Amino acid sequence: MSWNYLLNAKKTNTPVIEILRYASKKTGGSTKNTNCKVKPKHRGWKVQDGHFVQTGHMLATQLTSRFHPGLNVGMGRNGTLFAITPGKVVVTCEKFEPNWDHTWVKRIYGGREQQTIFKKYFNVIPEPQHNRFKLVDEV
């Protein structure tokens, strides 16, 4: 029974019925039965060291810059490393010399000025060509 019904009933002797409908459920949705199974992103190495790849093949996917592009390797906007030329994949661990004056380098590598920092680089070594060329003068 609504409050308006009681007020109107005291003023007049005839009952006035006003029907008010309230929502029985809120429209927010349930938080009890949420699906917590997030699809895996499968980040990491896609090609191992020593394998042969074609142009445009993905070598590694990453969220942060864990792997770095080397010879004949490009880096996408989302950090994906891909082969620029076809060839053999070689993964190397090389010494990294950052620019210590840069603010980003100070924030990431702060306190490691005296340490040697090593990074993993993906390189693609192209196949040697057939060497069957002849000069025009010799022909």
At 41-76, the pLDDT tens digits run 899 999 999 999 999 999 999 988 889 999 999 999
Q: Is residue 51 part of a domain?
A: yes
The average pLDDT across 16-43 equals 72
The total number of structural domains that make up the chain: 1
Tell me whether residue 12 is in a domain.
no
- pLDDT tier for residue 28 given thresholds of 50, 70 and 90: low
In-domain check, residue 21: no
Question: Can you give the CATH number for the domain in which 48 is found?
Answer: 2.40.50.100
Backbone phi and psi for residue 10, each to the nearest 5 degrees, phi listed first? -75, -30
**In this model, does residue 87 exceed pLDDT 90?**
yes
What is the domain range of residue 71? 44-126
Domain membership flag for residue 69:
yes
Cα-based angle 41, 44, 46 (whole degrees, multiple of 5): 100
The verdict on residue 131 lying in a domain is no
Considering only CA atoms, which of 55, 124, 47 is closest in space to residue 89? Answer: 124
In a domain, 52, yes or no: yes
Predicted TM-score (pTM) of this structure: 0.62
Token pair belonging to 73: 């390797």
